[in-house]
Amino acid sequence: MTGQEHAAVRMAHLSERAGLSTDDVAVRIESGLTNVTSNDSSRSLWDIFRANVLTLFNAIVAGSFVLLLLFGQWRDALFGFAAVSNALIGVVQEYRAKKSLDRLAVLNSPRARVLRDGAVQEIHIEDVVRDDVLVLRAGDQVPADGVILDADGLEVDESLLTGESDAVQKAAGAEVLSGSSIVSGQGRAVVTRVGAESFASRLTAEAKRFSLVQSEIRRGLDRILRWITLALLPIMAIVVNGQMQGQGGWQQAIATGTWKTASVGAVASVIAMIPLGLVLMTSVAFAVGAVRLARQKVLIQELAAVEGLARVDVLCLDKTGTLTVGRIVFDAVHELDTEAPAGWKQALGWFGADPNANATARCLTEAFPADTLRPLDSVPFSSGRKWSAVSFPAGTTMSGTWLLGAPEIVLLPGTPEPDSTLRTAAGLASTGLRTLVLAHAPGTSFTRNDNEEVLPAQADPAVLLTFREQVRPDAAQTMSFFRDQGVELKIISGDDPRTVTAVAREVGVETDGGFDARELPEDPDELADVMEQHTVFGRVTPAQKKDMVRALQRRGHVVAMTGDGVNDALALKEADIGIAMDSAAAATKAVSRLVLLDGRFDRLPGVVAEGRQVIANIERVSMLFLAKTAYAVILSVTFGALLWGFPFLPRQLSATDGITIGIPAFFLALMPNTRRYRAGFLKRSLSFAVPAGLIIALAVLSINAYALLAGQGTGPAVRTGSVLVLTLIALWVLVVLSRPLNRWRMLIVGVMYAALAMLLTVPLLRDFFDFTLPEQEHLTATALIALAGCLAVELLHRAHRRYLSRDRAPTA
């Protein structure tokens, strides 16, 4: 027996019994045939923890941290706090986003109305079981898939599922899907699929699979960490051997216990090579951006999404629920060549106030006041008939029969006046406006054949009425912003292309009349060509939306997609950045990177600005951190190869990192910066950082070579001289990268110089970090080498700016 035959048997059975009994419900609950669905977002707590904590980067840092603790060198293990902070920020931010999403219900309606034991009961939607009889009324949301048992003018809005905003008439035997809404009429339906088997759940099953935002910053950092990881083992071997040889050789170092000192030096070199703070600063910048956007009612599901929207060059927009609020509004009255009969305004007022009016007719209530005159007879609107009617007695202001409906149905063609009206109506409809005609017939009753109402033989047109979808008031301004920023716009909808085109024109988008998606080619390359050539698309299916996003990505575009329906979920997941509106189904919100919690479309420019700030500032501070990685690698290899003792203690590197990079980078990463995105983040950063690191490394090598030639060895004074040279030149790197200098940036740089002076002069700090000022001659050499290094950094910065000016705009 087929599924439809099963449904037919159940319908007949339930019609006789008037719903399930309490025992029937208990049996189905025991069998698991309930409407319980998973509301979890796409990432579990374990997924979040694993992505932020269980990484190779953290394993290297944790191993070094534990080793120093085992040696009793807790003062040299300060870098461990940065690693913990980095992981903690990522876990907390993503878990907060997950909890916010998990609180969203899959369906907006919290209750369902069912027929059980012969009585209508209201229950939670999770308590609906298969074979329940749903009692559906206007305004209800369908909690589970079902088949209509009986219907009285039942019309359903399935826009959340199909993208088409027009209501669909449902008769006995028709299928009704979970997530759709009852627009008008009433009826009963038997539940056929519940929970994960429902249409909405199956449609979003694929979309709930997790995928990361494509972040250029994250890709760049991952690439650097891979390079460092590959280089760590050979470099560590060189460094450890050099440290041991510096202690008199392996045998002597092990015999005397000085191998511990050598190991501390090796750890210092390893930790110095890892841009620990850069990962932390990136997480901080993302997290702060997410917090700022949360204050604007924008929920960030994944931190890197803050960056992502700033890189977008194509924005795909769903019409219903994104550009429009999903409601029909009255547009205008279009008078005809002949004078309209008296009472036409009162007739429109009656149609608008009719309790059985559909959403289109209800739009008339504000423009036309209702009349209290009671009609003789009326016919409610249905999408099958495509007209409604009302009759009033003779001698009244509205005497006769008034009809409101589709012009091509209400008016019988063949006479000059209806033909002229039909041509006018067709012209209005071609602009995307929904067009109805109000017509008048002299009779005061309807002809009915087999209980079906028949139109009067002669109805004269009175006026034409146009309706349109209500466009969000912020849509035009937001679209203008993206056009000015060079972002291509693509409007994609399941509605008629003409309707979509009308909305596009209203929000200021140039269009060639709209492309019917039923004519889209299946070949991916041909589809990509069509996507490049057209802006507005109608009659698009959910699967086509996903294919259209892929086609744009195949041409190298970074694609953002907005939507609110379950039908948008697959495309939102496929896009580089998925943006869900507040009215979206929760499953759609779960797969989106951004959720506009208050539904304000004009939030998007703020998100773009936040993303640009993140990218531009992270690029700025990345040069600081990567310069450190460059000089650390060079120093580790060179000192190891020369068998010299490493010139820094881990705690001293922690101090220099904090002064030259960590603390100033925290402020620089959060400062305003509106520079537009340009690809090539890693290339630009390395083209400055590597030469700058080389300059610092050569300066440190020079002061150590001077100390050895002067017979000063590698004691605390020499280490302090190395710290001074490194810090002074690195601070000048900070100065050139902070330009243009304003009072806040100057204040940050000034405080860092003051912090260096405190480290060298305050006894408690000086003793903790093991600083000893060199003698006058060594101090003079230190100052001269530092000055030469600063001059070299200045020349490098100017040459780097000239190099970049060939293909980019000036930085902020």
Q: Which residues does the annotation mark as catalytic? A: 318
Instruction: Please state, as a whole number, how many other Cβ atoms lie within 10 Å of the Cβ of residue 806.
Output: 6
**Dihedral of the CA atoms 408, 409, 413, 419 (nearest 10)?**
-30
Contact 362, 377 (CB under 8 A): no
Provide the pairing of β-strand 594-596 with 298-300: antiparallel
Strands (E), 160-204: 168-169, 175-176, 181-193
Q: Cβ-count burial of 46 within 10 angstroms (0-12 exposed, 13-18 middle, 19+ buried)?
A: exposed
Residue located via tokens 């891979």: 226
Q: Which of 495, 544, 182 is nearest to 323 (CA)?
A: 495
Q: Which of 718, 723, 698, 697 is nearest to 707 (CA)?
A: 718
**What is the bridge-based pairing of β-strands 488-492 and 377-382?**
unpaired
Q: How far apart are CA 10 and CA 21, in angstroms?
A: 14
Beta bridge partners of 439: 403, 461
**CA 284 remoteness from chain centre:** 19
Q: What is the distance between the terminal CA atoms of the chain, rounded to a whole angstrom?
A: 70
d(CA 386, CA 304): 50
How far apart CA 218 and CA 211 sit, in angstroms, is: 14
Q: Identify the three-state secondary structure at position 512.
A: coil
Among 666, 596, 621, CA closest to 305:
596
Taking alpha carbons only, the member of 611, 724, 734, 606 closest to residue 667 is 734
Nearest alpha-carbon partner for 364 in 375, 354, 379: 354
State how far the alpha carbon of 454 is from the alpha carbons of 277, 403, 446, in Å.
78, 12, 7
Amino acid found at 338: T
CA–CA separation, 460 vs 411, rounded Å? 8
Q: b vs e for 126-151, b when ≥16 Cβ sit within 10 Å of the residue's Cβ?
A: bbbbbbbbbbbebebbbbbbbbbbeb
Tokens of 654: 């922690």
Long-range contacts of 325-328 (CB under 8 A, 24+ apart): 325/469, 325/470, 325/471, 325/472, 326/159, 326/165, 326/469, 326/470, 326/583, 327/359, 327/469, 327/470, 328/359, 328/360, 328/363, 328/434, 328/467, 328/468, 328/469, 328/470
Q: How far apart are CA 383 and CA 770, in angstroms?
A: 85
Amino acid letter, 143:
P
Beta bridge mates, 348 = none
Please say whether the beta carbons of 128 and 190 come within 8 A: no
The structure tokens listed for 209 are 């699979």
Among 389, 350, 341, which Cα is nearest to 368's? Answer: 350
Whether residue 740 is preceded by a cis peptide bond, meaning omega within 30 degrees of 0, is yes
Quote the CA–CA distance of 264 and 244 in Å, as a whole number: 11
Structure letter (DSSP) for residue 356: T
Quote the tokens at residue 107. Answer: 């369906």
Helical residues (DSSP H) of 247-370, grouped into ranges:
250-256, 259-273, 276-295, 305-311, 344-353, 359-362
For residues 142 and 134, the answer to whether their CB atoms sit within 8 Å is yes
Q: What is the DSSP string of 533-551?
A: H-SEEES--HHHHHHHHHH
Please report, as a single letter, which amino acid is at residue 728.
Answer: L
Q: Which of 114, 112, 138, 115 is nearest to 126 (CA)?
A: 112
